[in-house]
Amino acid sequence: MDVWEKLKEKAAMIEPLMRNYADFGNDSIKQMVLHPIVAGGKRVRPCMVLLACEAVGGNIEKILPAAVSVELLHTFTLVHDDIMDHDLKRRGKPTVHAIWGEELGIVVGDTLYSSAFKALTDIRKSGIDSDTILDALEVLVWANSKIQEGQIMDMLFEKRNDVKEDEYMDMIQKKTGVLIEASLEIGAILGNGSEDEINGLGRFGRYIGMAFQIQDDILGLVGDEKAVGKPIGSDITEGKKSLIVIHSLNNLKGIEKEKLLKLLGNKDIGDKELKIAKDMLIKSGSVEFAKTAVKKLCEDAKKELNVIRDSDAKNTLLELADFMIERKF
Amino acid sequence: MDVWEKLKEKAAMIEPLMRNYADFGNDSIKQMVLHPIVAGGKRVRPCMVLLACEAVGGNIEKILPAAVSVELLHTFTLVHDDIMDHDLKRRGKPTVHAIWGEELGIVVGDTLYSSAFKALTDIRKSGIDSDTILDALEVLVWANSKIQEGQIMDMLFEKRNDVKEDEYMDMIQKKTGVLIEASLEIGAILGNGSEDEINGLGRFGRYIGMAFQIQDDILGLVGDEKAVGKPIGSDITEGKKSLIVIHSLNNLKGIEKEKLLKLLGNKDIGDKELKIAKDMLIKSGSVEFAKTAVKKLCEDAKKELNVIRDSDAKNTLLELADFMIERKF
């Protein structure tokens, strides 16, 4: 069984529970809230919660709502991100606001946000002590606030052409790294892990999360549209400052740089011009640069697991780090 | 000292703390998050937290972050509501999205949402036990989810001309009543009130909150623009189904009803037509009907306080119920 199948098996444990959290009295509301929940997704974050819990010797049956919680939080950020990025499709399906409009899209996102906290407080029923639950809740709140900080940074970067590589890394750490970090920490906290274990697993998650984001940027540029589930090159037309774009802008000079700048963030360019921009990003060595960054982050992540005792869960996490580098979807 | 001055005195206790929760590393973010926090507002909800705590004999110094929490949550809903309603002004000042755009407006709202939970978990530092804090947190989460349900109902009502009075009451209970109910419950829980006290204060809040919303609708139609701080009649042009509008539509017949329907939700009507709509709503007895509903709710609210021992805090709450009926802003 490859790592992806192992994750799918874990993810299956939480699917029915996920749907419960869309169960509002009003059918119209239920339909809207359920849409992004059942629209698929890799369920990487809930798997991280469960694997971290197992890795510290905890009982995952008790903490399933916590796994649901981080996925609901993630889903909320996607619903709002899609509105902010004006993306009409996600995972090959229409986004919430594409169906029901931006106004309802905003409040559907807000509802998922509430449900994320509801799920985490529901852990009380498992008999886990309140102090431990509050520790986990504080991590979720912290992650949440960092994600929004990262999102704002990302948006402010769009207007700038002088973003540095380390600013980008700081932004994706917040926007993507932090929630995977939080997922592992929450799993380790609720599984009664030691401080070293909680921190080690957390940092593993942070690095994996950042690698995940950079790999997303790579796939969004040179991936297969069908596998990725969103239009290839949309980052170029949206003017997103991905690591690839930043590296190119910092390395191209004169007329070449100007040419790239004209293409970036230009929603009216056709397939031909999109291909020119894509080729420039590849030829400037920026795609290669991003791939190297992914590899380095995954190596750093694996080292963090030295504090964790050997187990199936630990092995799965190590395999996942390797998989990050190779994933095509 | 009238009740409003008493509330102002209480509200002043939390102002500096409110600002702390906008304190992000990045100055641009801080500026955006701080804007709706300092834009004013009556701070009714934090005062309710503190008064409920006092009314059950609790120590309010310990629970100030909980008072901040409900106001941050309220502020978050306002930021998103203003985007959804396309309102460019709130309390006479430009709204967040009017200054920074809708995309950043969405994420600024999300940030305030996080900060609300951060504030409530910060109560841990006060030494209040974790079980009690989780009880309060569950109330906040519950309120949150109901608010969004109410918001969605409100938006769905805009498209309907057959909304019933009881559907409207259910909607405002969720959209407005629930957070004031939650504020009082949270104060009573953290002040170690009995179950009867918590429930009685909660219901007081629910009724007061609903009265507050109906009074808002009344003031938005026949109030003084300067005192209210938003354009009079915007509910008519936005096609909002307020209790006044619902009552009119359910009581007007034939050509009169059609005339009103043509004016509602029509953003292009001028001052003259706005006045015609306003006069129709007054002449149909619907404004009077709404005023009677406010009075009834406030009387019901006061009865709920029978379970509470006599105190200055209880007196202030009773005065507030009376004030609700007379308020002009």
Determine the distance in angstroms separating the CA of A190 from the nearest CA of chain B, rounded to an integer. Answer: 15
Interchain proximity B111–A83, CB inside 8 Å: no
pLDDT at A203: 98
Task: Give which of B33, B74, B117, B135 to mutate to test A binding, by max A Cβ within 10 Å.
Answer: B117
pLDDT at B325: 80
Helices (H), chain A: 3-12, 15-20, 27-38, 44-55, 64-84, 96-100, 102-121, 130-158, 165-172, 178-190, 195-222, 225-228, 234-238, 243-251, 254-263, 271-283, 286-304, 312-326
Q: Count CB atoms within 10 A of the CB of residue B276.
A: 14
CATH class (in words) of the domain with range B3-313: mainly alpha
Q: Which residues pair with B89 in a beta bridge?
A: B94
Determine the distance in angstroms separating the CA of B257 from the nearest CA of chain A, rounded to an integer. Answer: 28
Determine the residue of chain B that is closest to A137 in CA distance. Answer: B121
* Spatial distance between the Cα atoms of B205 and B191, rounded to a whole number of angstroms: 16
Contacts with B151 from chain A: Cβ below 8 Å: 107, 110
What's the pTM value of the predicted model, to 2 decimals?
Answer: 0.90
Q: Which of B109, B133, B141 has the CB atom closest to A114's CB atom?
A: B141
pLDDT at B329: 65
Give the residue extent of every domain in chain B.
3-313
HEC readout, chain B: CCHHHHHHHHHHCCHHHHHHCCCCCCHHHHHHHHHHHHCCCCCHHHHHHHHHHHHCCCCHHHHHHHHHHHHHHHHHHHHHHHHHCCCCEECCEECHHHHHCHHHHHHHHHHHHHHHHHHHHHHHHHCCCHHHHHHHHHHHHHHHHHHHHHHHHHHHHHCCCCCCHHHHHHHHHHHHHHHHHHHHHHHHHHCCCCHHHHHHHHHHHHHHHHHHHHHHHHHHHHCCHHHHCCCCCHHHHHCCCCHHHHHHHHHCCHHHHHHHHHHCCCCCCCHHHHHHHHHHHHHCCHHHHHHHHHHHHHHHHHHHHHHCCCCHHHHHHHHHHHHHHHCCC
Contacts with A133 from chain B: Cβ below 8 Å: 130, 134
Q: How far is CA B174 from CA A5, B167, B169, in A?
A: 43, 11, 9
Q: Which of B103, B130, B141 has the CB atom closest to A84's CB atom?
A: B103
Task: List phi, psi (to 5°) of B89.
Answer: -130, 145
Q: Which of A84, A129, A141 has the CB atom closest to B114's CB atom?
A: A141
Q: Which of B114, B133, B149 has the CB atom closest to A26's CB atom?
A: B149
Task: Give which of B34, B86, B103, B108 to mutate to test A binding, by max A Cβ within 10 Å.
Answer: B103
In this structure, which CATH number among 2.120.10.30, 1.10.600.10, 1.10.10.10, 3.20.20.150 belongs to the domain A3-326?
A: 1.10.600.10
Determine the distance in angstroms separating the CA of B319 from the nearest CA of chain A, rounded to an integer. Answer: 33
B81, B113 in Cβ contact below 8 A?
no
Q: Which of A32, A134, A153 has the CB atom closest to B133's CB atom?
A: A134
CB–CB contacts below 8 A, A to B? 120
Interchain proximity B124–A134, CB inside 8 Å: yes
pLDDT at A155: 86
pLDDT at A329: 66
Mention every residue, 6+ apart, whose C-beta is less than 8 A from residue A305.
A200, A201, A204, A314, A317, A318
Interchain proximity B149–A24, CB inside 8 Å: yes
Segments in chain A below pLDDT 70: 25, 229-230, 329
Contacts with A28 from chain B: Cβ below 8 Å: 152, 156
Interchain proximity A121–B141, CB inside 8 Å: yes
Determine the distance in angstroms separating the CA of B195 from the nearest CA of chain A, rounded to an integer. Answer: 19
Q: What is the pLDDT along chain B (329 residues), one digit of tens a residue?
A: 788 888 889 989 999 899 998 877 678 888 999 999 988 788 999 999 999 999 999 999 999 999 999 999 999 999 999 999 888 988 888 999 999 999 999 999 999 999 999 999 999 999 999 999 999 999 999 999 999 999 888 888 888 888 999 999 999 999 999 999 999 999 999 999 999 999 999 999 999 999 999 998 899 888 877 777 667 787 888 888 899 999 999 999 889 999 999 998 888 888 899 999 999 999 999 999 999 999 999 999 999 999 999 999 999 999 999 988 887 66
Interchain proximity A155–B114, CB inside 8 Å: no
B56, B192 in Cβ contact below 8 A?
yes
